[in-house]
Amino acid sequence: MSPDHSSDAAAHPFAPLVQTNAAVTESRAVRVTLVAATLLFLVTFLLLPLLIVFTQALAGGIHAYLAALRDHDTLAAIRLTLFTAALAVPLNTVFGIAAAWAIARFEFRGRNLLITLIDLPFSVSPVIAGLVYILIFGSRGWLGPWLSAHDISIVFAWPGIVLATAFVTFPFVARELIPLMQAQGLDEEYAALTLGAPGWRTFWHVTLPNIRWGLLYGVLLCNARAMGEFGAVSVVSGHIRGLTDTVPLQVEILYNDYHFVAAFAVASLLALLAFVTLGLKSFLEWRHGDELAALRGH
């Protein structure tokens, strides 16, 4: 009598997965080639540019590096970048929570349109977004004459920079929370409401603790993009030195003025921000990856 292979498969639930992997396993030469190609790509397009940035930043010595960072215009650009992120990120956090709540908890007319609009900054060039703000708030734009009559400056001032930054960064928090809240379901919230908890208390004590790590993850990515945004900000800033230049714009100005050491010194700040963001992102994935996956239903 032939052995019963079906019982073996039932006893080993991962047997189909093992068979599938065995069927698609490539030869050692192919694996080595793919790994080598991946490493070559990472070295060429990631590690080598970063190495060049820090090498050029320190080419004039540590004193020249620190002097570049202490420059008046550079300090003004750093302050404006931090100020912009401090406004844009909380605004997008509030929007992301509200949008995710509406999409995950309610069925309403225009729901699919709202989801599409949230993805809009991913498909529209930031330069186009900056141009739209110029056409709306510029001196010859739709609202330009009224703004000028009331001595209100939007473009070529910090409000325009904040608006442009908020536009290109608003999807990050929402896109992280929408699937998280959809997978979370409504059972715990219904239980809290049934026990008499008001809406805000239910949100603070039930919903927010369940989405806190996903929220932090989205805020982290939003902040990194806000500080590194170039295209939209370049259009609406006017490049007024010491007033409307952010850190990415200051790098461009210094490089165009042939101050290469100073340009790379300022660029190293953005590179360090990328390292910090990557480190925090990896920590969240390592520390709370299982919790996030469980909430998403993976």
What CATH number corresponds to the domain at position 120?
A: 1.10.3720.10
Amino acid 23: pLDDT? 46
DSSP codes, 21-40: HHHHPPPHHHHHHHHHHHHH
What's the whole-model pTM score? Answer: 0.82
Which of 56, 71, 101 is a domain's end point?
56
Q: Does 21 share its domain with 128? A: no
In this prediction, residue 199 has a pLDDT band, given cuts at 50, 70 and 90, of: confident
**Structure confidence by residue, pLDDT tens digits, 115-171:** 999 988 988 899 999 999 999 999 889 999 999 999 999 999 999 999 999 999 989
Average pLDDT over residues 37-50: 90
Indicate the residue type of 256.
Answer: N
Residue 73 has pLDDT above 90, yes or no: yes
Which of 56, 72, 90 is a domain's end point?
56
**Structure confidence by residue, pLDDT tens digits, 208-242:** 888 888 899 899 999 999 999 999 999 999 999 99
Strand segments, DSSP code E, in the chain are: none
Q: Does 283 share its domain with 138? A: yes
**Cβ neighbours around 64 below 10 Å, total:** 15
**Cβ neighbours around 28 below 10 Å, total:** 8
Q: Does 78 share its domain with 43? A: no
Amino acid 295: pLDDT? 52
Q: Which domain holds residue 254?
A: 61-296
Report how many domains make up the chain.
Answer: 2
Amino acid 24: pLDDT? 57
Whether 155 contacts 133, CB under 8 Å: yes
Q: Does 52 share its domain with 68? A: no
Amino acid 9: pLDDT? 45
